[in-house]
């Protein structure tokens, strides 16, 4: 599985956190891996599980970083799709040394083009640019 495919699946899982309680997230992760990704290797499953859990644990800290730069658009007002993309990108920018910041931003903008609204790519890019 390509890194961009893994990122897309992580985005979908992070998006899922908006609709389930913290207690349900582990079950949702297991179901997602079984139903949506039955063909991935155990190594890829382990990587996705680890990253999802880490993002979930750091959610409040990540939201704080987003809120610090998002004028007039705190996380509580943002669209869920854009917010999930931002959380994943901020995680990659702040906690993933192996992923260059420019790559994290570019990939986030691509996810916003694919899954967000018309204004999502520029919104995501603008927020992330303020974090650099």
Domain 3-129: CATH class, spelled out: mainly alpha
User: Which among 90, 91, 95 has a CA at the least distance from the CA of 129?
Assistant: 90
For the entire predicted model, the pTM comes to: 0.93
Beta-carbon count within 10 A of 90 CB: 24
Integer-rounded Cα radius of gyration of the chain: 14
Residue ranges of domains in the chain = 3-129
Reported as a single tens digit per residue, the pLDDT across 80-119 is 999 999 999 999 999 999 999 999 999 999 999 999 999 9
């Amino acid at each position: 599985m390509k890194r961009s495919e893994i990122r897309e699946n992580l985005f979908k899982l992070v998006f899922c956190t908006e609709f389930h309680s913290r207690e349900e997230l582990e079950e949702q992760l297991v179901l997602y891996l079984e139903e949506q990704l039955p063909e991935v290797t155990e190594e890829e499953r382990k990587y996705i599980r680890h990253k999802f859990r880490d993002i979930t644990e750091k959610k409040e800290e990540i939201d704080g970083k987003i809120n610090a730069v998002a004028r007039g658009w705190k996380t509580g007002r943002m669209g869920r799709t854009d917010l999930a993309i931002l959380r994943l990108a901020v995680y990659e920018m702040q906690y993933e040394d192996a992923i260059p910041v420019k790559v994290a931003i570019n990939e986030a903008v691509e996810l916003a083009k694919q899954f967000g609204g018309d204004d999502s790519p520029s919104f995501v890019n603008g927020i992330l640019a303020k974090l650099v």
